[in-house]
Every structure is written in C-alpha cells, then in structure tokens.
C-alpha cells in the first residue's frame, strides 16, 4: 500500500512539474487572466514565506493548502509549482532540497534556475533591510526626487527608498533578475548588467514592445559619463517585465537588463518620475547606521562647498587644486583642454558670486574612493545670471579628494 501511495504521489508531482513547464509548456497567459471582477490575488511572496514557516512548524497540511492556493492564483509561477511538487512528495518520503520532489523528471539546468530563484526569494524575505540603517551609496537626494531605486545584484533584489524630507525611508522591495553572466557590463552583447549610478530617462509602454519585455520598460542612462570615460559600451538597458506566459525569471536570465514581474513593475512605476528617479545598481548593497550616513553626507557636502567657494574666488590656482591630473571629461578631453574650454571663461571676471542648488550625492557602488555629485551651478556677475547643470565624479587620491570627471547634463 505504501508503494502504491508513493507512486500516486510521484504522479501528482509529475503533473505539478508539467504545469511549471519543466516538462511541458505553460498554459497561455491569456487563458488564465482573471476577469475584471475577480478578487485581488494573494501576494505570492507572502504565501511563499508562510509555506516555509508552516514547514518549520511541521504543519505539512497547512503548507500544502497554501501551495495549492499559490499555484491556483499564479499558474505561471514556476517556483510555486516546484515547491508544491516538493510538498506532495513529502507525504511519501523526505525531501531535503528545493526541487527534491522532481527527481530525474526535470532538466537539470531548469531545476537549478528554479532552486536559485526560490533561495533568492526566501533569503530576501527573511533578511529585509533594517529600517534603522541606510544604503551607503545614497547620501543626498534633491527635494523633488520622491524615491531612489537601489538594486542589490547579489540578493537579486530591488529596494525602494522614499525621500522623507532629506532622510531615506525604506518603502518596499522586489525580486529581480539580472544579466545571464552577472554584473559589471563592459560592452554590447556581453549579457552583463551595469554597475553604477543611473537615472530613469524614459518609459516604453507594452503596446510598443515585443512580448519578451512584458508590460512596459523603463530606460536608464547607461552608459553614464563615468562609463564612457572608461570605454564601457552598449546601450538599451531597461527595467522591464516578463513575457505573458512567464510570471518571473531566474536570478541570472536577462541580456543585461533588470527584470521584474509585470505586477511588480506596474507597482514600481508609481514610484518613478521620468528624468528624476535615480537607480543605483550595486554588486552588494552596504547598509550603515544613520550617524555614519550623516557623517559621510557631511563630508561630501563640504567637498562641494569648498569647490564652490574656490570657483567664486575666480582664482585659477585655487580651482585647479580640486582637479586630478588623471581628469578625463565625458568627451574624452584631458584637464588642460577641458579647463580652457569649460571653466576658464567662467573665471574671467572678479566679483562673481556662485551658488549650488538641487544637489545629489552618491557613493559610487563598490567604490569607497568615489563620490558622484550632480548640481545646478548658479553664477551672478553684476546683473547677469547664468545657470548650468553639472555632474562631477570625485576620487580619493591619497588623503585628498579630486575631480576625475565633470560634464554638463
């Protein structure tokens, strides 16, 4: 009888895995979309963590019921089917690893992808950022920047922080996929996701996109000024959704873009302002205490004010001391060429006043020795007022900070 029961359960597991497309294609999304009057579906990640809490409490039947509800609500959620298959198999024998119920029935590469996604989701759900800490890479936002998006590639997670009167307030987070070959994009077609400080520069609606990109796509400004100065190439990096027959993709699955589920992307878009919202992509996000964050922000702000004061002095030697001999402009010019064209004309008249406004400050991801500042420089000579928007990259050289790149934006 026991062997017969085990055989029946294995058949049920095979059917569950077939529904997840490990063994057969998924049902087309258009046939499973709920009607407009359908009740709101449960959050899949909330159900996922609840299932594993039940398992920790040895409540197999409760976990099974939730797994059934999960795949019913999200038929295209392959990880849900994988976990449901595990639970079905547990009625007959121990399952010691994600996808253990699949046995030899599933392709090894697809099974690994689902295991990786399950681990990434569960790890993130049980280790959300401490709201008392702040991401070190984001030091200061403009007052009109409502939110900042921070991507942690190692955790396969995107964190949303709100600009709460100059303080960062954790709002929510989403599971994401990244490039098939990881991060640190260098060139077109390398299937890697860039690391750096970027901005959302545009949105393309799903109606204008191939189904592969999902509900919509948010473009970021890769390559940025620092990428270009370091000969990093490629283009067309988006935050985008998933195909209509796919709920989510494995952690390493894109051609370089950051990929969310269509439902998460739709929610994220409510927190995005085109041309304003920063996107920080890091290998691993470092979180620091509020006191350390305040201290590092103050240090960066003082650098900017010292530069402003020396520009206001119109003393060329004082201004030049802020620039590195390794300086390279966004157009590839060395310091001498760039300075004569962009800065020297500004310093030709005494009695000039200089003011900085709309300042943003970031630590470049993975670089303790680099700060990125964007700001509006307002100068007044007599009654003539000039306003320019600039971005500077500061690098630490020994005990000093020097500007290694500066561009108009």
Interacting residues of 68 by C-beta distance below 8 A, sequence separation 6+: 84
Compute the chain's Rg from CA coordinates: 26
Interacting residues of 240 by C-beta distance below 8 A, sequence separation 6+: 209, 213, 214, 216, 217, 218, 257, 258, 259, 260, 265
User: Is residue 339 located within the same domain as residue 269?
Assistant: no
User: Is residue 273 located within the same domain as residue 138?
Assistant: yes
What percent of the chain has a predicted confidence (pLDDT) above 90?
Answer: 70
User: Is residue 27 located within the same domain as residue 78?
Assistant: yes
Top mean pLDDT of 53-57, 97-101, 156-160 is at 156-160
User: Is residue 191 located within the same domain as residue 295?
Assistant: no
Q: Please, which pLDDT band fits residue 147 given cuts at 50, 70 and 90?
A: very high
Mean pLDDT across the chain: 88
User: Is residue 312 located within the same domain as residue 374?
Assistant: yes
**Which of 126, 147, 173 is where one domain is finished?**
126
- For the cut 90, the answer to whether the pLDDT of residue 204 exceeds it is yes
Between 409 and 9, the more confident residue is: 409
The closest of 123, 122, 124, 85 to 101, measured between CA atoms, is: 85
- For the cut 90, the answer to whether the pLDDT of residue 222 exceeds it is yes
Give the per-residue pLDDT at 273.
98
Q: How far apart are CA 358 and CA 166, in angstroms?
A: 12
User: What angle separates helix 108-126 from helix 44-56, to the nearest 10 degrees?
Assistant: 90
User: Is residue 118 located within the same domain as residue 177?
Assistant: no
Interacting residues of 33 by C-beta distance below 8 A, sequence separation 6+: none
User: Is residue 326 located within the same domain as residue 266?
Assistant: no
The closest of 311, 398, 314, 296 to 355, measured between CA atoms, is: 311
Q: Please, which pLDDT band fits residue 102 given cuts at 50, 70 and 90?
A: low
Q: What is the pTM of this model?
A: 0.89
Number of domains observed in the structure of the chain: 3
- For the cut 70, the answer to whether the pLDDT of residue 29 exceeds it is no
User: Is residue 258 located within the same domain as residue 356?
Assistant: no
Q: How far apart are CA 137 and CA 300, in angstroms?
A: 12
């Amino acid at each position: 009888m026991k062997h017969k029961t085990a055989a029946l359960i294995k058949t049920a597991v095979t059917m569950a895995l077939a529904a997840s497309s490990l063994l057969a294609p998924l049902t087309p999304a258009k046939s499973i979309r709920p009607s407009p009057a359908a009740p709101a579906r449960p959050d899949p990640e909330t159900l996922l963590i609840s299932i594993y809490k039940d398992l920790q409490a040895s409540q197999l039947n409760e976990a099974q019921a939730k797994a059934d509800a999960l795949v019913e609500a999200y038929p295209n959620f392959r990880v849900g089917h994988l976990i449901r298959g595990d639970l079905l198999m547990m009625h007959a024998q121990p399952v010691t690893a994600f996808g253990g119920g699949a046995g030899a029935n599933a392709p090894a590469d697809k099974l690994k992808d689902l295991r990786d996604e399950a681990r990434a989701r569960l790890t993130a759900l049980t280790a959300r950022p401490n709201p008392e800490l702040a991401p070190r890479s984001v030091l200061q936002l403009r007052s009109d920047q409502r939110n900042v998006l921070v991507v942690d590639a190692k955790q396969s997670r995107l964190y949303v922080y709100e600009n709460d009167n100059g303080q960062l307030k954790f709002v929510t987070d989403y599971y994401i996929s990244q490039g098939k070959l990881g991060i640190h994009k260098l060139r077109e077609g390398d299937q890697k996701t860039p690391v750096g400080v970027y901005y959302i520069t545009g949105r393309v609606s799903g109606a204008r996109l191939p189904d592969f990109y999902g509900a919509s796509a948010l473009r970021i400004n890769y390559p940025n000024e620092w990428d270009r100065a370091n000969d990093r190439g490629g283009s067309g990096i988006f935050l985008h959704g998933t195909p209509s027959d796919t709920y989510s993709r494995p952690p390493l699955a894109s051609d370089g873009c950051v990929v969310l589920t269509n439902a998460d992307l739709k929610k994220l878009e409510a927190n995005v302002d085109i041309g304003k919202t920063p996107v920080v992509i890091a290998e691993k996000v470092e979180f620091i205490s509020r006191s350390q964050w305040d201290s590092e922000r103050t240090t960066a702000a003082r650098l900017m004010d010292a530069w402003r004061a020396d520009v206001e002095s119109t003393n060329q030697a004082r201004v030049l001391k802020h620039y590195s001999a390794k300086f390279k402009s966004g157009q590839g010019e060395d310091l001498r060429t760039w300075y004569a064209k962009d800065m020297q004309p500004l310093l030709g008249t005494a009695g000039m006043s200089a003011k900085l406004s709309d300042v943003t400050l970031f630590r470049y991801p993975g670089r303790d020795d680099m700060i990125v500042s964007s700001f509006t420089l307002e100068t007044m000579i007599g009654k003539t007022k000039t306003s320019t928007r600039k971005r500077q990259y500061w690098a630490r050289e020994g005990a000093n900070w020097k500007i290694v790149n500066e561009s108009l934006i």
